[in-house]
């Protein structure tokens, strides 16, 4: 039972209240210094390392004694105590894991007491007298602390830094030991406004520093702003320096360019004792500008001298750029920009929000390599290294305040956002954000937090930010009347809704539309990325958005079965209740921050140069906002695929004249003159490939890194005919009553006439299939995370996961004209209980050489579902068939709404690389637009499959059907079928296939990869069609054109031995 504390019998009580500090929304700090820009002085000592630690279930428990060893253990600082054996991680999306009654917190309020010792370095004392501070970069969620037994202060705001002056209590001798004690509370009133979608993790999770400033004088704060003239050419650099000096001093500024050449010579000003703010403006003629595409950084050196000696120096990167709302759009340096963004949390699979700096840099380099140009710090100020790297690498940053109270939706009348009692706490979080990061050119927009509804406190935050820093825009999505936002922000809109929003005001709008979150990248997906990007480009008011989200938040956990195995845990895996399950696994990258299929797809969709081809003209669009194409070079090849070979016909580079397109411009060129090509380009499977690569090395990529690509078919595409077979001699047939034995010199096959299934098939003594599951028609796929909220429930309701076959008749005989043996099976495939199903006719045709054709005709009958997961043949192959070669899209997985990154080719992959090991097992590993596929052992021996249709429309006639959202009606409903126009069926080139260790039912039942036992063989699936992915885990469902609509199916699969 959880009891809410409401009495003063606690360790720390506010002097102006009868409640503790951590339960008083009006007390969010005591004795904390004013926030300032982020810089560390030369005299900085990191106190991180092994600290003593005491864990208690409540702040009311007695504190440990410093000298009593039995009261303490050791813990890593920075770090979370839940990841070091104390308590457990807890995941919720937005529900509070405690009663929602602000500002009260549970009496079961785990409390960690930390203690460490430190001494002032001897080298510091030699430099003179100093004032000393302790700086905490991040502590979750609130804390009091003392030095040498003297209570110093209190702070909350987990992802915000806090500095405290400890000059009066510190022991300054280099041999003297100081004792620092920090008492951290897991829950505080601040927890109500730190309800972000992430793990609840506590403790000192960022570094703690001892810093010192010269007592005679020091620079307290620095605020630099750049302003461009009306032509966005010349600039003014404004510098505001806040100082604390006790004598006459001198401040000097010097500006260097990115080549370390002096851009502005040293300029010095005398400061008197009573001057605390020094301001100046410096004119710079036509400096190189900063953008995410061209992150030109200057270096400003600011020094403070006393008596001719430099006592402090600050090095501040400077980016000359301006941000404004102009013409209803976000403009940088006078040009509208398109955000190709992602949302990013600070997260590490073993360390939680204690993220190493190199891990952050890895993230941002990976973003640049995948054509991302913007990052939203969701939903709090990320580690300060992020904006520093973004300055250098070139990324626009939406910097967000540490604020979310989504869980208060259960009591909307008491939402803190509109409660005056919380106003100062809201403002404090905005102050902390802005002051820390205000000197970073990458930060072009402040955000007031996330999913906190709307109210007067957000308005106050907005007004303060605009007054203090008019050089940036302010964003907030939670109130769609937008009284506190320069942007019309939205999230998870469908493409159709986006078009309506973009056009409802015509071209007369004051604010742009920006998706702060879209394309929820949970599990297998997201689908429809290309449709979103096309829509952004088509409507001026749409300036792009930020995909949710960058990476999964899995925490590495041992299975606990003695094997040493581990897995990436999500909500509920630590016994945390209530929880939001695997909703924390929603990233483009894995929990280890390695690219997943979603990120590979995003790179292609986000590529800043797009190409289309019509009538031998290559149409090129430069979607860069500032960069011409001169910084890249374009090569093209013409290839033809023949059998399993790719033949290079032509290779060339486009001339510089063809490749100098200005930003946001398009052109058309003739990449090659057909008369000059000495090859017949009308031959089947002849393709033009275009590749665009960087000319020079950058901080994030080597020379020649591919930025964009496209490929175009040069021959006329024709719907492939159904595969066929011929034979020189008939196979031998022997009937045993229950089975048919079909054989010839090189093969034998056993067909079960009762089950209507192939039991055995060997070629020259080598098994082609496993005897437990011959080819059979199936419709189910293991639901993806994007299926589960809607489609999967409907599919289960229609019984698609438990379809069974009832054999109605089996006929067989030798076709004397062709010498082919045919088996014709008529069946009823349907779920139990319900009265709908498929009438199927499956024709097996066997040649004397052992080739097999399977012709499937499936007609839906009854009150049928509107949407299917997939339709195709499934079989099990022997366990040694662990190599796959195919001609189609690859090398990674592709689906009908997630295949932009698929390149046509002949690909070879091992079985392990054909599957995607999602943290929540689900449908994975599909390949689309396949012409043929071989699944073999390491010697190349195995089975080859192709699929085609008997007519141009594939006999895929649409039928009237129930919609996706309807449940099946009574089993007594009469069967009905209405034939639709054949033209309604959308034909796609090739077919889909997948190989896996696991059946759809294995994947469906398992909650984690370690629970998958695997099949005794290899599951081989050949699909005539497959439903898209969408992003319905949090957002719109699969777009209609990518849905697998119910219809009649007619397809033929050819199977034959290969490598023998």
Separation of alpha carbons 411 and 100, rounded Å: 8
Q: Which of 995, 997, 1035, 1041 is nearest to 1016 (CA)?
A: 997
Q: Which two tokens stand for residue 369?
A: 């390599």
Helix 423-437, helix 456-468: angle, nearest 10: 30
d(CA 1011, CA 560): 12
| Residues 646, 906 contacting (CB under 8 angstroms) | yes
Contact assessment for residue 494 and residue 500, using Cβ atoms and an 8 Å cutoff: no
Encode burial over 87-126: b for 16+ CB neighbours within 10 A, e otherwise.
Answer: bebbbbbbebbbebebbbbbbebbbbbbbbebbbeeebee
DSSP 343: E
What b/e sequence results for 864-893 when a residue is b if at least 16 CB atoms lie within 10 Å of its CB, and e otherwise? bbbbbbbbbbbbbbbebbbbbbbbbbbbbb
Spatial separation of the C-alpha atoms in residues 451 and 431, rounded to whole Å = 19
What is the layout of strands, in order, in the sheet containing 739-743? 732-735, 739-743, 747-752, 757-763, 766-767
Provide DSSP, 468-496: H-TTSEEE--S-TT-TT-SSEEEES--HH
Q: Coil, strand, or helix at residue 438?
A: coil
Would you say 537 and 529 are in contact if contact means Cβ atoms under 8 Å apart? no
- CB–CB of 958/985 below 8 Å? yes
Residue 283 forms beta bridges with which residues? 236
Report the 10 Å Cβ neighbour count for 581.
Answer: 17
* Structure-block tokens of residue 564: 């040493």
* Contact in structure between 114 and 144 (CB atoms under 8 Å): no
Q: Cα separation of 1053 and 930, whole Å? A: 12
Round to whole Å and give the CA distance between 924 and 912: 12
Active-site annotation, residues? 451, 517
* CA 384 to the chain's CA centroid: 21
Q: DSSP labels for 230-259?
A: TTS-SEEEEEEEEEEESS-EEEEEEEE-TT
3-state DSSP percent of the chain in helix, strand and coil, to 5: 15, 40, 45
- Helix (H/G/I), strand (E/B), else coil: 211: strand
3-state class of 971 per DSSP?
coil
Residue in the block written with tokens 């398109």: 338
Report the DSSP pairing between strands 555-558 and 566-569: antiparallel
Q: How far apart are CA 660 and CA 667, in angstroms?
A: 10
Torsion of CA 669, 674, 675, 676, to 10 degrees: 80
Separate counts of helices (H) and strands (E) for the chain:
11, 61
R_g of the chain, CA atoms, integer Å: 33
Are 380 and 233 a contacting pair, CB within 8 Å? no
Give the number of C-alpha atoms closer than 13 A to the C-alpha of residue 1055, restricted to the C-beta side: 28
Q: Which of 111, 75, 624, 110 is nearest to 340 (CA)?
A: 624
Give me the residues paired with residue 423 across strands. Answer: none
**Euclidean distance between CA atoms 666 and 614, whole angstroms:** 14
Tokens standing for residue 147: 């030095």
């Amino acid at each position: 039972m959880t009891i809410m504390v409401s009495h003063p019998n606690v360790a720390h009580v506010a002097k102006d209240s009868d409640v503790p500090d951590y339960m008083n929304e009006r007390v969010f700090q005591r004795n904390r210094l004013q926030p300032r820009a982020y810089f560390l002085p030369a005299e900085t000592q990191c106190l991180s390392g092994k600290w003593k630690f005491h864990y208690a279930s409540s702040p009311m428990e007695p504190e440990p004694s410093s000298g009593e060893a039995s009261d303490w253990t050791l813990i890593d600082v920075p770090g979370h105590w839940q990841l070091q054996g104390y308590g457990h991680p807890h995941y919720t999306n937005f529900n509070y894991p405690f009663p929602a009654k602000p500002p009260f917190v549970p009496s079961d309020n785990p409390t960690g007491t930390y203690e460490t010792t430190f001494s002032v370095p001897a080298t510091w004392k030699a430099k003179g007298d100093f004032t000393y501070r302790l700086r905490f970069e991040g502590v979750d969620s609130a804390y009091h602390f003392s030095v040498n037994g003297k209570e110093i202060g209190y702070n909350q705001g987990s992802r915000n830094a806090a500095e405290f002056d400890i000059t009066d209590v510190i022991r300054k001798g280099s041999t003297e030991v100081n004792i620092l004690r920090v008492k951290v509370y897991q829950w505080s009133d601040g927890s109500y406004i730190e309800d972000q979608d992430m793990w609840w993790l506590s403790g000192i999770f960022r570094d703690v520093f001892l810093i010192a400033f010269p007592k005679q004088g020091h620079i307290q704060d620095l605020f630099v702003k750049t302003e461009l003239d009306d032509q966005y050419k010349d600039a003014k650099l404004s510098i505001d320096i806040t100082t604390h000096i006790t004598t006459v001093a001198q401040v000097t500024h010097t500006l260097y360019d990115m080549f370390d050449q002096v851009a502005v010579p040293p300029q010095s000003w005398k400061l008197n004792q009573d001057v605390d703010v020094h301001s100046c403006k410096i004119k710079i003629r036509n400096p190189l500008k900063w953008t995410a595409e061209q992150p030109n950084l200057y270096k400003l050196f600011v020094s403070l001298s006393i008596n001719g000696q430099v006592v402090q120096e600050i090095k501040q990167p400077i980016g000359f750029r301006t941000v404004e709302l102009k013409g209803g759009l976000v403009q940088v340096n006078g040009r509208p920009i398109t955000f190709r963004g992602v949302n990013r949390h600070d997260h590490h699979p073993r360390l939680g929000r204690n993220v190493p700096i190199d891990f952050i840099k890895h993230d941002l380099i990976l973003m640049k390599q995948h054509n991302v140009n913007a990052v939203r710090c969701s939903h709090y100020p990320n580690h300060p290294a992020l904006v520093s790297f973004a300055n250098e690498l070139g990324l626009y940053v939406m910097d967000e305040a540490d604020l979310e109270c989504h869980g208060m939706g259960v009591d909307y009348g008491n939402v803190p956002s509109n409660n005056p009692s919380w106003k100062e706490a809201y403002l404090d979080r905005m102050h902390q954000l802005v002051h820390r990061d205000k000197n970073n050119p990458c930060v072009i927009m402040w955000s007031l937090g996330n999913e906190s509804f709307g109210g007067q406190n957000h308005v106050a935050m907005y007004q303060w930010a605009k007054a203090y820093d008019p050089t940036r825009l302010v964003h907030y999505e939670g109130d769609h009347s937008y009284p506190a936002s320069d942007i019309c922000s939205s999230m998870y809109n469908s493409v159709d809704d986006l078009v309506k929003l973009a056009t409802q005001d015509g071209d007369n709008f004051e604010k742009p539309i920006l998706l702060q979150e879209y394309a929820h990248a949970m599990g297998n997906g997201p689908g429809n990325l290309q449709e979103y990007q096309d829509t952004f480009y088509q409507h001026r008011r749409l300036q792009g958005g930020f995909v949710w989200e960058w990476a999964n938040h899995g925490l590495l956990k041992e299975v606990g079965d003695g094997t040493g195995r581990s897995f990436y845990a999500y909500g509920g895996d630590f016994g945390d209740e209530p929880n939001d399950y695997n909703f924390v696994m929603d990233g483009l990258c894995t929990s280890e921050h390695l690219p997943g299929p979603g990120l590979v797809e995003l790179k292609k969709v986000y590529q800043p140069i797009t190409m289309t081809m019509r009538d031998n003209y290559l149409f090129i669009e430069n979607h860069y906002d500032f960069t011409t194409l001169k910084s890249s070079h374009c090569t093209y090849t013409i290839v033809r695929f023949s059998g399993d070979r790719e033949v290079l016909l032509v290779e060339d580079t486009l001339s510089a004249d063809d490749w100098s397109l200005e930003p946001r411009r398009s052109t058309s060129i003739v990449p090659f003159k057909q008369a000059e090509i000495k090859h017949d380009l009308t031959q089947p499977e002849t393709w033009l490939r275009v590749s665009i690569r960087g000319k020079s090395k950058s901080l994030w990529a080597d020379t020649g890194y591919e930025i964009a690509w496209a490929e175009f078919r040069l021959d006329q595409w024709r719907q492939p005919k159904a595969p066929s077979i011929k034979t020189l001699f008939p196979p031998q047939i022997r009937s045993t009553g229950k089975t048919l034995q079909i054989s010839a010199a090189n093969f034998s096959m056993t067909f079960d006439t009762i089950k209507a299934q192939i039991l055995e098939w060997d070629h020259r003594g080598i098994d082609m299939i496993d005897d437990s599951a011959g080819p059979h028609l199936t419709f189910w796929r293991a639901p993806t995370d994007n299926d589960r909220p809607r489609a999967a429930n409907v599919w289960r309701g229609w019984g698609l996961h438990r379809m069974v076959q009832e054999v109605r008749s089996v006929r067989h005989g030798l076709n004397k004209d062709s010498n082919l043996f045919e088996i014709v099976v008529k069946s009823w495939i349907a779920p139990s209980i319900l009265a709908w199903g498929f009438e199927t006719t499956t024709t097996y045709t066997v040649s004397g050489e052992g080739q097999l054709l399977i012709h499937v005709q499936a007609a839906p009958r009854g009150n049928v579902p509107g949407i299917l997961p997939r339709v195709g043949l499934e079989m099990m192959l022997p366990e040694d068939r662990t190599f796959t070669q195919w001609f189609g899209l690859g090398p990674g997985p592709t689906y009908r709404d997630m295949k932009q990154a698929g390149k046509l080719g002949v690909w070879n992959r091992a079985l392990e690389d054909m599957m995607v090991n999602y943290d929540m097992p689900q449908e994975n590993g599909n390949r689309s637009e396949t012409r043929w596929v071989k699944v073999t052992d390491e010697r190349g021996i195995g089975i080859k499959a192709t699929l085609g249709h008997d007519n141009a429309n594939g006999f895929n006639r649409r039928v009237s059907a129930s919609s996706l959202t309807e449940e099946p009606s009574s089993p007594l409903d009469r069967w009905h079928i209405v034939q639709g126009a054949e033209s309604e069926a959308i034909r796609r080139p090739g077919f889909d296939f997948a190989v896996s260790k696991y059946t759809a039912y294995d994947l469906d039942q398992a909650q984690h990869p370690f629970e998958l036992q695997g099949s005794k063989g290899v599951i081989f699936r050949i699909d005539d069609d497959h439903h898209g992915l969408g992003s319905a885990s949090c957002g719109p469902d699969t777009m209609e054109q990518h849905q697998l609509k119910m219809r009649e199916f007619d397809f033929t699969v050819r199977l034959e031995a290969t490598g023998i």
